[in-house]
């Protein structure tokens, strides 16, 4: 049995879609694994009228629907409900009373987590009232805040939110969720790098030619145009998930395996990211918008429901990142993400430099490539040079492969389970911190403002392809090509 965690979690937005689909099933898994035993309580709150019994049924139903299980009655009795309008200061008093009651009842030692599963415009308001209405404990080991995405829609809005949060919470109390950081194979980047000298010693400009990060989707905008047309791939996928994955790839080895040291190492890399001028954006970034597929059976973006006919929104982004550090000078990090691409995948391809071919053959040798495949199934591939079987001494690339097994997969916690566990445990290693978020916004804002100032002809890629031709040309100019071709 693992060591029991003692805590009270208040879920704001407890009747919402995310709570039902992900959060309650995750808490149940933590209970089944023994992290939560006797000393825990969960308070759900939202603006909906509901009794505690009705809420307990809501939680049981969510576990039935999303885990196909009947929740243990002993688990469900730890759940309580309090209606509150989070924009009304007076509504926090009954919530406070309930928190204090459950704290006593389950002997929770004043350890509190507040999870904001609510619309982002409320994040600052809730943080403010948690402090002013005195819901934070003064005698416990911790008060922690878990925040859903997005964290702002620009550097300016993110900074405003950050200022609101930091009036009530210090940085080490804030757990900003980026569920990509909760993915097993993203967490495996660090193990591969720092656990294997062959990679750790070669993880620099002397041995690495370029690094490629791909987050591709096959779906189009579906029914989310209202949101997506204001965000685009740049803000929806690059600013957050892609940049956080890049953080694990670009960082130095942390001085020790703690969240503070990990964040410090990542921030050193983030702070060395080159922020582009408009001219550099034109050179280093490509935007795309999907048209119909080749057979003309799928809509182009401009024909999708609720998309303005003249939308300049990007549904695809590819670009080059440069880090001005001793480790990375001159090594391009290529990133790309888009909708309606040939395949749904998240992957990292690390292309190593190759030596001259000494095998009496003028052909250059293929480069070694380490591929970390995050989705749809966890896999590591390492493509190396070996001998061909023919009598003449010829070479060929071969691939060493490891795949997550069905057993491993069954035991792998979902990102939300892991993130809730880590917050309860006070481990901020797999959360986005303010400095990294701020740099990512400054980087993305520079690209967005350059694009806002220039018109682009759309559509410029066919649904079902791997994006605009310009994204291939971007790499070709540097003498490179995308490893993954869909």
Contact between 125 and 86 under an 8 Å Cβ cutoff? The reply is: yes
336 has which bridge partners? Answer: 214, 318
Decide: is 128 part of the binding site for ligand NAD (CB under 6 A).
Answer: no
Contact between 15 and 43 under an 8 Å Cβ cutoff? The reply is: no
Rule CB under 6 A: which of 132-161 touch ligand NAD?
148-149
Decide: is 15 part of the binding site for ligand NAD (CB under 6 A).
Answer: yes
**Is residue 407 annotated as involved in ligand binding?**
no
Contact between 49 and 18 under an 8 Å Cβ cutoff? The reply is: no
**Is residue 65 annotated as involved in ligand binding?**
no
Decide: is 124 part of the binding site for ligand NAD (CB under 6 A).
Answer: no
Decide: is 16 part of the binding site for ligand NAD (CB under 6 A).
Answer: yes
Decide: is 465 part of the binding site for ligand NAD (CB under 6 A).
Answer: no
Name which of 236 and 349 has its Cβ closer to ligand NAD: 236
**CA distances (Å), origin 329, targets 274, 390, 436, 478:** 11, 40, 20, 15
Say how many residues make up the chain.
Answer: 486
Q: What is the DSSP letter of 244?
A: H
Decide: is 211 part of the binding site for ligand NAD (CB under 6 A).
Answer: no
Q: Whole-number minimum distance, CB 13 to ligand NAD, in Å?
A: 3
Decide: is 485 part of the binding site for ligand NAD (CB under 6 A).
Answer: no
Single out the residue of 6, 46, 173, 325 in contact with ligand NAD (rule: CB under 6 A). 46
Name which of 84 and 419 has its Cβ closer to ligand NAD: 84
**Is residue 14 annotated as involved in ligand binding?**
yes
Single out the residue of 32, 37, 96, 120 in contact with ligand NAD (rule: CB under 6 A). 120
Cα 470 to Cα 433: distance, rounded to the nearest angstrom: 33
Decide: is 341 part of the binding site for ligand NAD (CB under 6 A).
Answer: no
Q: Whole-number minimum distance, CB 129 to ligand NAD, in Å?
A: 11
Stretch that binds ligand NAD, among 113-121, 163-171, 205-213, 414-422 (CB under 6 A): 113-121
- Catalytic one among 241, 421, 455, 480? 241
Name which of 148 and 304 has its Cβ closer to ligand NAD: 148
Q: How far is CA 42 from the centre of its chain?
A: 25
Decide: is 17 part of the binding site for ligand NAD (CB under 6 A).
Answer: yes
Q: Is residue 455 annotated as part of the catalytic site, yes or no?
A: no
- The string of DSSP letters for 111-144 reads -EEEEE-S-GGGHHHHHHHHHHTT-S-SSSS-EE
Cα 97 to Cα 179: distance, rounded to the nearest angstrom: 32
Residue whose CB is nearest to ligand NAD in the complex, by number? 16
Single out the residue of 5, 42, 43, 86 in contact with ligand NAD (rule: CB under 6 A). 86
Cα 374 to Cα 182: distance, rounded to the nearest angstrom: 11
Output the furthest CA–CA distance in the chain (Å, rounded).
Answer: 84
Cis geometry, peptide bond prior to residue 118 (ω within 30 degrees of 0): no
Report the side by side order of strands in the sheet with 369-375.
285-288, 316-321, 333-338, 208-216, 345-352, 369-375, 379-387, 395-403
Contact between 12 and 118 under an 8 Å Cβ cutoff? The reply is: yes
Decide: is 373 part of the binding site for ligand NAD (CB under 6 A).
Answer: no
Name which of 48 and 395 has its Cβ closer to ligand NAD: 48
**Is residue 96 annotated as involved in ligand binding?**
no
Name which of 16 and 292 has its Cβ closer to ligand NAD: 16
**Is residue 7 annotated as involved in ligand binding?**
no
Q: In 391-483, where does DSSP find H-type helix?
A: 406-411, 415-425, 434-452, 469-476
Q: How many CB atoms lie within 10 A of CB 469?
A: 13
Single out the residue of 89, 90, 93, 119 in contact with ligand NAD (rule: CB under 6 A). 119
Tokens of 443: 């980087």
Binding positions for substrate are 179, 183, 217, 236, 339, 344
Catalytic residue numbers?
Answer: 241
Q: Which residues bind ligand NAD (CB under 6 A)?
A: 13-19, 46-48, 84-87, 117-120, 148-149
């Amino acid at each position: 049995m693992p060591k029991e965690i003692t805590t009270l979690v208040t879920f704001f937005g407890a009747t919402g879609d995310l709570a039902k689909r992900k959060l309650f099933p995750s808490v149940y898994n933590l209970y089944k694994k023994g992290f939560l035993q006797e000393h825990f309580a969960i308070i759900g709150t939202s603006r909906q009228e509901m009794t505690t019994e009705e809420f307990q049924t809501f939680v049981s139903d969510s576990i039935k629907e999303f885990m196909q299980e009947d929740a243990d009655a002993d688990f469900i009795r730890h759940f309580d409900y309090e209606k509150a309008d989070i924009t009304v200061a007076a509504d926090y008093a009954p919530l406070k009373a309930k928190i204090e009651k459950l704290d006593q009842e389950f002997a929770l030692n004043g350890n509190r987590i507040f999870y904001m599963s609510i619309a982002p415009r409320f994040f600052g308001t809730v943080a403010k009232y948690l402090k002013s209405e005195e819901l934070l404990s003064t005698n416990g080991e911790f008060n922690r805040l878990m925040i859903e995405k997005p964290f702002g829609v620009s550097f300016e809005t993110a900074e405003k939110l950050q200022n609101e949060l930091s009036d009530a919470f210090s940085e080490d109390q804030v757990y900003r969720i980026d569920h990509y950081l909760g993915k097993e194979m993203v967490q495996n980047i660090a193990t591969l790098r720092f656990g294997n000298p062959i990679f750790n010693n070669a993880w620099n400009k002397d041995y690495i030619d370029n690094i490629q990060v791909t987050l591709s989707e096959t779906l189009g905008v579906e029914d989310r145009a209202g949101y997506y047309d204001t965000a685009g791939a740049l803000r929806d996928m690059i600013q957050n998930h892609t940049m956080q994955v890049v953080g694990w790839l670009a960082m130095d080895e942390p001085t020790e395996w703690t969240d503070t040291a990990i964040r410090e190492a990542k921030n050193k890399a983030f702070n060395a990211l080159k922020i582009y001028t408009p001219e550099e954006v034109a050179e280093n970034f490509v935007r795309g918008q999907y048209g119909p597929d080749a057979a003309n059976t799928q809509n182009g973006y401009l024909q999708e429901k609720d998309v303005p006919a003249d939308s300049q929104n990007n549904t695809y982004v590819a670009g080059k990142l440069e880090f001005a550090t001793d480790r990375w000078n001159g090594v391009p990090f290529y990133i790309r993400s888009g909708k309606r691409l040939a395949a749904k995948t998240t992957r990292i391809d690390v292309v190593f430099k190759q030596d001259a071919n000494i095998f009496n053959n003028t052909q250059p040798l293929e480069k070694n490539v380490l591929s970390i495949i995050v989705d749809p199934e966890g896999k590591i591939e390492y493509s190396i040079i070996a001998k061909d079987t023919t009598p003449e001494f010829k070479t060929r690339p071969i691939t060493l492969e490891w795949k997550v097994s069905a057993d491993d997969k069954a035991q792998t916690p979902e990102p939300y389970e892991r993130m809730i566990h880590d917050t309860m445990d006070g481990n901020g290693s797999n959360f986005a911190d303010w400095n990294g978020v701020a740099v990512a916004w400054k980087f993305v804002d520079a690209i967005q403002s350059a694009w806002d100032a220039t018109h682009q002809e759309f559509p410029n890629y066919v649904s079902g392809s791997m994006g605009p031709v310009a994204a291939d040309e971007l790499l070709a100019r540097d003498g490179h090509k995308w490893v993954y071709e869909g």
